[in-house]
Amino acid sequence: MTKSDAMIEFRDVHKYYGDYHALRGITGTIRPGEFFSLLGPSGCGKTTLLRTIAGFEDISSGAVLVDGRDMAGVPANKRPTNMVFQSYAIFPHLSVEENVGFGLRRDPRSKEEKARAVGEALEMVGLKGYGKRAAHALSGGQRQRVALARALILKPKVLLLDEPLSALDKKMREQMQVELIRLQRQVGITFILVTHDQEEALVMSDRIAVMFEGEIAQLADPETLYRRPNSRKVADFIGTMNFLPAKVLEEGAGSVEIEAAGFGRIHVEASQVMGGATAEGATVGFRPETLTILYEGSAATDRESMATIEEVVYFGDMTYYDVKIDGTEMPVRISMRNVFGRPVLDRGARARVGWSPGALVLFR
Amino acid sequence: MRSPVFRGYAVAYLIFLYAPIILLPLFAFNDSKVIAFPLQGFTTAWFVEMWQDTTLWNAVRNSLTISVSVAVISTLLGLFAARSSTRFNFPAKAGIMGLIMLPMVLPEMILAMALLVVLLAVGIELSLLTIILGHVLICTPFAVAILSSAFQSLDRSLEEAAYDLGETPLSTFWLIILPLVMPGIISSLLICFTISLDEFIIAYFLGGTDTVLSVYIYGQFRFPAKVPAVMALGTVLVLLSIALLATAEYFRRRGIAKAGGKDTGGFL
């Protein structure tokens, strides 16, 4: 891989805390200018991995490269990366502008130039005129912005964000998501975000690495991750997926014939076949929105199954139906947009469920 | 607090605690050599007498030398111990910290005797230095206790943020950690100073020919004629204590306001 293709490169990174194996052979690259997310449940090693880039954690073996340079032995204060901490780590005894300008202390530029840089950084994060305020008098969202300005003023090659939005309320969080994306496009710096919120990762990232137990389970763009999760575990972690048992009937070149109760024989392309079989054998996965309840005059779908509606959950813009397809044991979830003129069905009603073989994923 | 019984108890408690102290200025200004009611009239003669007593000034100078040295040395040692115990893990940490804290509960009498025996055996002459040695031993645990809580409330990512922004461990300590634990340092200095200033047993045992304030006052009480002047001295000391306490409280509150924390009641 040439230098320009990888801003960050992990080469078989292992990390042990005593006997605990926190990172189990991480390999992968993060591209320059990319908004990259490390996504996973707590304890999966995502924050540890981020901290190996920053230089706060030594790795037990392997290599971490930043912009083609091996970071082994390079201390945190000499790395071309800056971090926004989960707690924001705003220095409470300094003013906003002293916080933002903290990293410029060793900068040879003149006082006036530094002051201008601080002003620009504050303006960039929407805190123009807040420079003289005491840092401890700021709200959560404002602290977040100060932390961003403080890290970005050094023009790092990589900005590391450790769950920066987890302390904000829902509205503020959504607003900051949009602002972070805007900011990232504006400055063009590689952003690496650690989050346990799959929605946040999908919304913000160019690419996502899903991590479980110290390993990267899948590294892909959000759409691939959502449509073609490479294991049941990933599929389960990102969004909702219905799983149905299936039987492999025939394996051809580039495709598989399977049979699933209630769905009949299905022709599955090789690109839809993933690993991750369970003890029960192969499993078919459908996202709730790839199944449709067919009304009179609905456009025809590739295939149809008959079903009984067991549960109706009304969300205003959406309705979630749990339906039992004839011949199956477990109900599947279907999400339907409540477009104008489409009635919400009652519990116990019979319905036609439309689907398409191309939408499913086969785990085996 | 609504019940009259509780209110009576609280009032009685406060009187018991502070009435004797109020007697100090009362007799310090009383125009009589005898410490007894009724009061005989107003005079400032005892203050003049106190002021002109050169042995007293000598004792004050000795005490201040000791207390300031002890406050600085104990706080410095406390700083090292508190920092390493809150940030690093090392073998036998609990045991080592336990041994550092032990003099806090060890009877001073035993400590003073043991030190005296050792110093005499080694052949070190008793002086202000030996008192400082003994006082550092009993003050350091207090410094460690105060500073540990200051370090513990410090968010570790503040340090990491400073490294991340290009500072070295040393400059981070100077720019971030030290200012944020400063209220703790000031508290520690004041507490150690106060403990050392009125400590008697070690000062008496290890003092040699140099008299310190506490030992001097004890000595004066044997001569009834000297007692009113001691009362005057006591009055001055009470006023100084109040001033010191107020200063400490001011710095503590300012520290909390600076760090944006909530006031949860002071150490003092």
Q: How far is CA A165 from CA A47, A171, A174, A215, in A?
A: 14, 11, 9, 24
**Residues 6 or more apart from A226 whose CB is under 8 A from it?**
A202, A238, A239, A287
A308 and A204 belong to one structural domain? no
Among residues A209, A232, A255, which one ends one of the domains? A232
Are A215 and A150 found together in one domain? yes
Pairing between β-strand A207-212 and β-strand A35-39 as defined by DSSP bridges: parallel
Exposed / middle / buried, residue A22 (Cβ in 10 Å: 0-12, 13-18, 19+): buried
Predicted pLDDT of residue A298:
82
Domain boundary among A190, A209, A232: A232
* The pLDDT value given to residue A225: 94
| Same domain assignment for residues A188 and A254 | no
In the predicted structure, residue A2 carries a pLDDT above the cut 60: no
Q: Are residues A204 and A256 in the same domain?
A: no
Mutate to test the interface with A, among B165, B172, B175, B178 (most CBs of A within 10 A): B165
What is the distance between the alpha carbons of residues B165 and A77, in angstroms, rounded to a whole number?
6
Mean pLDDT of A153-169: 91
A275 shares contact with chain B (CB less than 8 Å) = no
Measured distance CA(A172)–CA(A176) in Å, rounded: 6
Q: Are residues A228 and A146 in the same domain?
A: yes
**CATH code for the domain of A284:** 2.40.50.100
Report the mean per-residue pLDDT for chain A: 90
| C-beta atoms surrounding B193 within 10 Å | 21
Per residue in A86-121, pLDDT (tens digit) is 999 999 889 999 999 999 988 888 899 999 999 999
Domain of residue A337 covers 240-363
CATH code for the structural domain at B43-259: 1.10.3720.10
Q: For a pLDDT cut of 70, what percent of chain B falls above it?
A: 94
Q: What is the mean pLDDT of chain B?
A: 85
- Residue A197 confidence (pLDDT): 92
Tally A–B CB contacts below 8 A.
Answer: 65
Amino acid type, B118: V
Instruction: With a cut of 70, say whether residue B241 has pLDDT above it.
Output: yes
Between B87 and A27, the higher pLDDT residue:
A27
pTM: 0.81
Amino acid identity, position A190: T
Phi, psi values for residue A284, rounded to 5°: -100, 135
- B168 vs A298, which has greater pLDDT? B168
pLDDT above 50: residue A139: yes
Amino acid identity at A148? L
This model of the complex carries an ipTM of: 0.82
Per-residue 3-state assignment (H helix, E strand, C coil) for B38-104: CCCCECCHHHHHHHCCHHHHHHHHHHHHHHHHHHHHHHHHHHHHHHHHHHCCCCCHHHHHHHHHHHH
The DSSP symbol for A346 reads P
| Range name among A2-16, A139-153, B185-199 with the lowest pLDDT average | A2-16
Query: Is residue B259 very low, low, confident or very high in pLDDT (cuts 50, 70, 90)?
Result: low
Same domain as A246, residue A174: no
Q: What is the signed CA dihedral for A295, A300, A305, A310, rounded to 10 degrees?
A: -30
CA distance B102 to B104: 5
A171 and A249 part of one domain = no
B53 touches chain A (CB under 8 A): no
Do A167 and A284 lie in a common domain? no
What is the per-residue pLDDT for B247?
Answer: 82
| A153 and A266 within one domain | no
Domain chopping of chain B, boundaries: 43-259
Which residues pair with residue A265 across a beta bridge? A259
Any B CB within 8 A of A239 CB: no
In the DSSP assignment, the letter for residue A95 is: B
Looking at mean pLDDT, say which of A110-119, A275-284, B57-66, B68-77 comes out highest: B68-77
Count H helices and E strands in chain A, helices first.
8, 21
Residue that the structure tokens 């920053």 belong to: A54
The Cα–Cα gap between B176 and B66 comes to 31
Cα separation, A198 vs A254, in Å, equals 32
pLDDT at B231: 83
A-chain CB neighbours of B162 within 8 Å are 91, 102
A159's tokens: 């900005």
Does the pLDDT value for residue A229 go beyond 90? yes
Q: What is the pLDDT of residue A3?
A: 47
Give B166's contacts in chain A (Cβ within 8 Å).
77-78, 103, 105-106, 154
Q: What is the mean pLDDT of residues A277-296?
A: 84
pLDDT tens for residues B101-151? 888 888 889 989 999 999 889 888 888 888 999 999 999 999 999 899 888
Q: Which one has a higher pLDDT value, B104 or A196? A: A196
Look up residue A239 and give its two tokens.
Answer: 């969004």
A362 inside 8 A of chain B by CB? no
Domain count for chain A, please give it: 2
- Pick from A213, A242, A207: nearest CA to A225: A207
